[in-house]
Amino acid sequence: MQLVLDWDGTCTDVDGLHMLLEEFGDREVYEQMEGVLGAGLTLHEVIATEIATIELPLDFAVGWMREHVTMRAGFAELAEGRSPLILSSGFHELIEPVLARERIELEVRANRLDARPDGWRPIWRDEAVCATCGEPCKRGALTGQRYIFVGDGYSDRCAAVAAERVFARDGLARYLDGRRLSYERFDTLHDVAAALT
Ligand SMILES: [Mg+2]
Ligand SMILES: [Zn+2]
């Protein structure tokens, strides 16, 4: 069965886009936006508002990401063994250079960045509103497929609920606990690889 991995905070130790926002974006906007996520604004609206506060040249941002983003233990092994699909609410431009650093090639479904000097803008891969959660979400990219999902955050909720099997940590685990849905907790990706053998 297809293995689907979220990228930030799942394949990586820490959410790289959040790191970038904290370092180079407007912290006040960032904190305010994380507070209203799922309570009035959609994920797309929140991300668009947050990244508009970043005015970095893309190649500088990519260099910074390649230097600072670290992979969760077990990533290389899981990538090689299972050829997972990476499904991210982040951006190709920030994911693929980190994958290239790791010398790993995987299919990535994510959004595109227009890194304008007066503030970054997202170019969404898919803006169709999901019938289940009422906003554009990852589930739409997986329609009609059976899959195992691995994730950690808000953007993973709807796709995780529709999966055959779920591995969760952090906010996604708390969300599934709250809804009394079953999942397997993971810390490293070795945990996921071991459970799948
Ligand atoms: Mg994540
Ligand atoms: Zn949804």
CATH class of 2-196: alpha beta
Give the C-alpha separation, 81 to 106, whole Å. 12
Give the number of the ligand closest to the Cα of residue 14. Answer: 1
If you measure from the C-alpha of residue 153 to the centroid of ligand 2, how many angstroms do you get, rounded to a whole number? 13
Give the number of the ligand closest to the Cα of residue 130. Answer: 2
Three-state DSSP string of 28-46 = HHHHHHHHHECCCECHHHH
Would you state the structure tokens that stand for residue 41, as one six-digit string? Answer: 């604004």
Q: Which residues have a Cβ under 8 Å from the Cβ of 181 and sit 6 or more positions away? A: 161, 166
- Give 114's strand partners: 121
If you measure from the C-alpha of residue 37 to the centroid of ligand 2, how many angstroms do you get, rounded to a whole number? 14
Give the C-alpha separation, 163 to 151, whole Å. 11
If you measure from the C-alpha of residue 174 to the centroid of ligand 1, how many angstroms do you get, rounded to a whole number? 13
If you measure from the C-alpha of residue 46 to the centroid of ligand 2, how many angstroms do you get, rounded to a whole number? 16
φ, ψ at 39 (rounded to 5°): -130, 65
Give the C-alpha separation, 112 to 123, whole Å. 5
Give the C-alpha separation, 72 to 70, whole Å. 7
If you measure from the C-alpha of residue 44 to the centroid of ligand 1, how many angstroms do you get, rounded to a whole number? 14
If you measure from the C-alpha of residue 97 to the centroid of ligand 1, how many angstroms do you get, rounded to a whole number? 17
Give the number of the ligand closest to the Cα of residue 138. Answer: 2
| Confidence (pTM) | 0.96
16-63 pLDDT per residue, tens: 999 999 999 999 999 999 888 878 899 999 999 999 999 999 999 999
74-132 pLDDT per residue, tens: 999 999 999 999 999 999 999 999 999 999 999 999 999 999 999 999 999 999 999 99
The pLDDT-based confidence of 174 (bands split at 50, 70, 90) is very high
Q: Give the domain ranges of the chain.
A: 2-196
Give the number of the ligand closest to the Cα of residue 173. Answer: 1
